[in-house]
Structure 1
């Protein structure tokens, strides 16, 4: 975890959960982190079995050039990664274990940028984890991000984040994240080659 936004929202999530493995969604107070709101999102598990955006900050919506509320989370990701991304997000809720993603975003005209994405579980009053609090943050400033929307994200790496009492990741979660990370790394390499080839063709 390297970016200030990611660190701050993870620290906030840690504070409000106390000794619990995940805080109640009612404990999240936007007024406590006003400077982070534009980069935050909340995902929810929906009746159809998928995961969608309940809320998305203005900066996230600007990155993709549209309002993401109600959209399926996996729709932001590259073809071939939808199932793995959704399975990992479900795992974060099912096991109440936060996760960190490193991804590359690709624009419609071939630009690319690195992103850090964190997802942390939230509980309902009935005790079930059915929502995720998260943030999407570019690793470096890029002027084109304010002008050209991202077409999709490609996962490069993912890992579970340690929580209190040195709790280890459940055995059945680790393989999912390792598989997703491997697929993401290979896919990112392939996409970079494809983008380079496309740009070289256009330059001729």
Structure 2
């Protein structure tokens, strides 16, 4: 994780989760996230399995260039990436894993810039994992942001495993090595050749 804000929110979330599939929405205390509040957001999964923003911090809205509340999650992404990102968000709820996304913000009135996003599973009530707690931070935290309309383009998606090691889920960006069958050597030495 490149950004202090992302790392701080991740640590807070993991403490709150305490080994469970997901913490409850009611357990999140905004006072404990004071410095990160402008960068956090919450998504709700709707009946059609799409996602809508329940709330979003001020810096998050500036990145999007518009108020995010009640906005379709798919609408913030570059059109060719929107479906992939909705499926990725669905995977967060289905697997209970945290997803880290490296991405680029593109607008027509400024150079593109990099960001980092976390998507973390959240429960509205015990046993119902139907929300996502998120954080979005620019690679350059000193970059001034203005409310310009931007598309987001994912460049790398990684689930964070229990060992905190990233695992790519975006094959078009990072191909994983094919799995080797158990007990099968990677190579074999064949005796032969010239003997002088």
TM-score under structure 2 length normalisation: 0.81
How far, CA to CA, are the matches of 1:125 and 1:150 in structure 2?
Answer: 35
**Aligned to 1:94, what secondary structure does the other structure show?**
helix
- The reply to whether residue 156 of structure 1 matches residue 150 of structure 2 is no
Q: Structure 1 runs of 4+ off > 4 angstroms? A: 166-169
Residue 181 of structure 2 corresponds to none
How far, CA to CA, are the matches of 2:153 and 2:92 in structure 1?
Answer: 19
| Contact persistence 1:114–1:138 (CA under 8 A) | yes
How far, CA to CA, are the matches of 1:4 and 1:125 in structure 2?
Answer: 30
Residue 109 of structure 1 corresponds to 109
Residue 178 of structure 1 corresponds to 170
| Contact persistence 2:101–2:154 (CA under 8 A) | yes
Which runs of no fewer than 5 residues in structure 1 stay unpaired?
Answer: 183-204
Residue 57 of structure 1 corresponds to 57
Q: Deviations over 1:28-61 (max 9, x none)?
A: 1111111110000001101232111000001111
TM-score under structure 1 length normalisation: 0.78
| Contact persistence 1:155–1:181 (CA under 8 A) | no
| Contact persistence 1:6–1:137 (CA under 8 A) | yes
Pair 45,109 (structure 1): closer, same or farther in 2 beyond 3 Å: same
Which runs of no fewer than 5 residues in structure 2 stay unpaired?
Answer: 175-196
Deviation of 1:125 after TM superposition, in Å, equals 2.1
**Aligned to 1:66, what secondary structure does the other structure show?**
coil
- Of structures 1 and 2, the larger Rg is shown by 2
